[in-house]
Amino acid sequence: MSSFKGGSVEFGIVIQSDITQALPFSFFSRAAELVGPDLVGCRLVKRQTDGTLLWGVIVETEAYSQEEPACHGFRRRTPSNETLFGEPGRFYVYVSYGIHHCVNVVTDRSDWANGVLLRSIAMPGELERVAAGPGLLARRFGLDRGDDSCPVTGEHDVWLAPRPASLASPVLVTTTRIGISQGQELPWRWYLQLSRSISRRATGNRQPSLDQAWSPCDEGTL
């Protein structure tokens, strides 16, 4: 399905070797349940104060939409969730339980609450679970409410870069979302089958052994 290179697009999926190139706005102008699986394998990149790039590969995502009760915009539009109702291609960052931040990407269209939660990222050369879970992910990249509403398409110091060619057609596990009390039946969580950096695997889906697991070590420069 995705044997293309150099930033070409097919069915919403973008393949690009250079992590300095961000995903286009059109990538996010689709429903969250379409963007969610396509974001697995893409890379979160942050330009640090010294000019170096901190990056990791997104290995787990969840989708949320206004018509279902687990979405922040299900009941009403408020100042705290206003970004989720805004234009797609922007970060929506909120504080969970008053403790940690959760990083989402707004999708679909304006005036419709729709977004994808970045659940886990695999970091090259670091502990495999250093960013396994929304709170750990935000902490590792230093993301907080100050990043809320910032674009993910390259105009900000943090952006989302396409999948490298080696992850053009990743094997994903599709399962239900976790950490919610409503809408638990929707199969709107996706993760990279061969990654060991998943927050929680689906029942019966065993973690791959070290010799079989995928590694992010070379994905930034392919």
Domain boundaries defined on the chain = 9-192
Give dist(CA 61, CA 58) in Å, integer: 8
The pTM of this model reads: 0.91
Tokens matching residue 186 = 């929707």
* CB-based contacts of 196, cutoff 8 Å, min separation 6: 122, 128, 129, 207, 208, 210, 213
Q: Going residue by residue through the chain, which has 222 residues, state the pLDDT in tens, using 9 for 90 and above.
A: 232 223 333 435 666 668 999 999 999 999 999 999 999 999 999 999 999 999 999 999 999 999 999 998 888 999 989 999 999 999 999 999 889 999 999 999 999 999 999 999 999 999 999 999 999 999 999 999 999 999 999 999 999 999 998 898 999 999 999 998 899 999 999 999 999 999 999 999 999 999 999 989 755 543
Judge contact between 48 and 189, C-beta under 8 A. Answer: no
Of 3.90.1150.10, 1.10.760.10, 1.10.8.60, 3.10.300.10, which CATH number belongs to 9-192?
A: 3.10.300.10
Biggest CA–CA distance in the chain, Å, is 48
Distances (CA, A) of 222 to 19, 21, 158: 9, 13, 20
